[in-house]
């Protein structure tokens, strides 16, 4: 009970993110898209990427919309850049929130965070390539990495920029995958 009381702000923030993600997860993507006023594919992907980056558990499967646009003839590089920029904007919110919440953490959690930080600082040169690789190959949300590294005291430039570079590669790759293998991908995921 004491642990819950000490971390009430952190727990409330986590519950808020989970609730927003599950709520957005329950709304069909096309209903969300219909609320976005723009008819420009790049602006649409920027907004969808931002929503995806804001929500902890990828609020909408923007990946398939990105692939569908690329298959339809929209420039894959432009689509990848617009989506990655949106995701970066969403991740920046998580970075700032984590910075703010640090003061509310209990000493026990801070101890774990500091402990992990010490281990990471043993190989500082590996952090940037590791983040670029994660951004390039992982289809999952960046939020856990952004939040934990922000709590460890790493700067915006150190976390968000490498992840954004990785996300640019990931989303351009995804757009090309859509261009050449959209039907196979949809078939594979049973969509």
Partner 1 sequence: MNKNTLKVWLIFIGVALAFMLLAAIISFRQIHSDNDRVSGRVVSLDNDSLVIVDARGRETTLVVGEETSFKGDKNEMTPGALIYSYGKKTEDGKFISYGVRIMKKP
Span 39-68, contacts to partner 1 by CB under 8 A: 39-41, 44, 56-58, 60-61, 64-65, 68
Question: Segment contacting partner 1 (CB under 8 A): 37-45, 88-96, 123-131, 166-174?
Answer: 37-45
3-state class (DSSP) for residue 190: coil
When asked if residue 7 is in the footprint of partner 1 (CB under 8 A), the reply is no
When asked if residue 33 is in the footprint of partner 1 (CB under 8 A), the reply is yes
Closest CA to 57 of 88, 105, 7, 14: 14
In the complex, least distance from residue 14 CB atom to partner 1, rounded to whole angstroms: 10
Span 148-187, contacts to partner 1 by CB under 8 A: 148, 179-180, 186
How far, in Å, CA of 74 to CA of 49, rounded? 16
Tally of CB atoms within 10 A around 115: 10
Long-range CB pairs of 120-126 (<8 Å, 24+ gap) are 120/152
Q: Please, what is the Cα angle at 170 between 138 and 60, to 5 degrees?
A: 70
Phi-psi sector, 94: left (phi>0), alpha (psi -120 to 50), beta: alpha
When asked if residue 107 is in the footprint of partner 1 (CB under 8 A), the reply is no
In the complex, least distance from residue 74 CB atom to partner 1, rounded to whole angstroms: 7
Question: Footprint of partner 1 on this chain (CB under 8 A)?
Answer: 18, 21-22, 25, 28-30, 33-34, 39-41, 44, 56-58, 60-61, 64-65, 68-74, 112, 115-116, 119, 140-141, 143-144, 148, 179-180, 186, 189-191
């Amino acid at each position: 009970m004491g642990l819950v009381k000490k971390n009430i702000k952190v727990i409330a923030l986590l519950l808020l993110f989970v609730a927003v993600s599950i709520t957005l997860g329950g709304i069909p993507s096309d209903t969300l898209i219909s609320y976005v006023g723009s008819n420009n594919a790049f602006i649409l992907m920027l907004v969808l990427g931002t929503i995806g980056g804001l929500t902890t558990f990828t609020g909408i499967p923007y990946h398939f919309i990105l692939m569908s646009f690329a298959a339809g003839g929209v420039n894959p590089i432009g689509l990848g850049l617009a989506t990655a920029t949106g995701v970066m904007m969403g991740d920046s919110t998580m970075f700032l929130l984590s910075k703010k919440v640090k003061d509310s953490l209990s000493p026990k959690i801070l101890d774990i965070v500091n402990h992990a930080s010490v281990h990471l600082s043993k190989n500082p040169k590996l952090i940037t390539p590791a983040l670029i690789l994660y951004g390039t190959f992982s289809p999952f949300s960046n939020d856990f990495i952004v939040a934990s590294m922000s709590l460890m005291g790493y700067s915006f430039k150190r976390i968000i920029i490498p992840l954004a570079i990785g996300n640019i590669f990931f989303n351009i790759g995804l757009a090309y995958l859509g261009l050449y293998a959209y039907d196979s991908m949809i078939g594979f995921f049973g969509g």
